[in-house]
Amino acid sequence: MTDIAPVGSSEHRPRRRGLLLSAVAVGTLLTVPALSAATPAGSVSAAKAVTTSARPSAPKPTVVLVHGAFADSSSWNAVTSRLERQGYPVIGVANPLRGLAGDSVYLSSILDTIPGPVVLVGHSYGGAVITDAATGHANVKALVYVAAFAPDQGETGLSILGQYPGSQLSPALTVRPYPGGQDAYVNPADFRHVFAADVPADKARLMAAGQRPVSLAAFAEPSTAPAWKTIPSWFLVAGSDRAIPPAAEQAMAHRAGSHTQVVEGASHAVLVSHPDATAHIIEAAAHATS
């Protein structure tokens, strides 16, 4: 009891100590039986469980979002806001759109800098990029394809579109040369019909004006070893896609063994028109692989 400041003269100290010890003893006698009587067997285990559940949970995986051709990272804005509200760290990668090999190396270099688990998401051509870039990255725990290409080794975007008729993308393209190659844009007059049919007209017009072109060579480059053969995958199929036919998306999802969801009536820009569905499938992938 040396931490209790003395009160009064020294001759009262022994008596005060005795009173304090007696009070503690009485309090103990009163408290312990009351606790034993009021608390059922197993209460200690219950208390431990409460303590355990109060511990901080493991950090959530980083969600890495990769846009496709004719778009940029802002196409993920509505999805990003939903994921961030749920506590997910999000990185929207600026896909170079210069060629599959180079774009995949670029994304791979970003994955190298992210500590902890990653859920890697690709839209459209971005699906081909994540397919190649994720291979060899142990931190990538799930792949999510959003109206995307999920090629097998040796396949190209052009070869996949050739197997499944129905794409209206090719006749809607405008090609502009640049030093060393050719860039493809979606003609603004056709953009909404082909790319974003269920997006409000004003928003689709802005998307068309701000689209980023893709090098034509990117669609002709063959894919390497596909990450979906070793990493669990999820696939959001846009039910009314006019860029990548829904039949192609479903076939790629089936081949990859992906957990698949179809958004009926959705355009190729399903991440813009249906951000809730897009965010939900990403969260499902995160939960399943945590």
Is residue 160 within 8 A of residue 149, CB to CB? The reply is yes
Alpha carbons 71 and 76: distance in angstroms, whole number: 10
pTM above 0.85, yes or no: no
CA-wise closest residue to 121 among 99, 101, 141, 103: 141
pLDDT tens over the chain, length 290 residues:
333 333 333 333 333 333 333 333 333 333 333 333 333 443 333 434 444 444 456 789 999 999 999 999 999 999 999 999 999 999 999 999 999 999 999 999 999 999 999 999 999 999 999 999 999 999 999 999 999 999 999 999 999 999 999 999 999 999 999 999 999 999 999 999 999 999 999 999 999 999 999 999 999 999 999 999 999 999 999 999 999 999 999 999 999 999 999 999 999 999 999 999 999 999 999 999 88
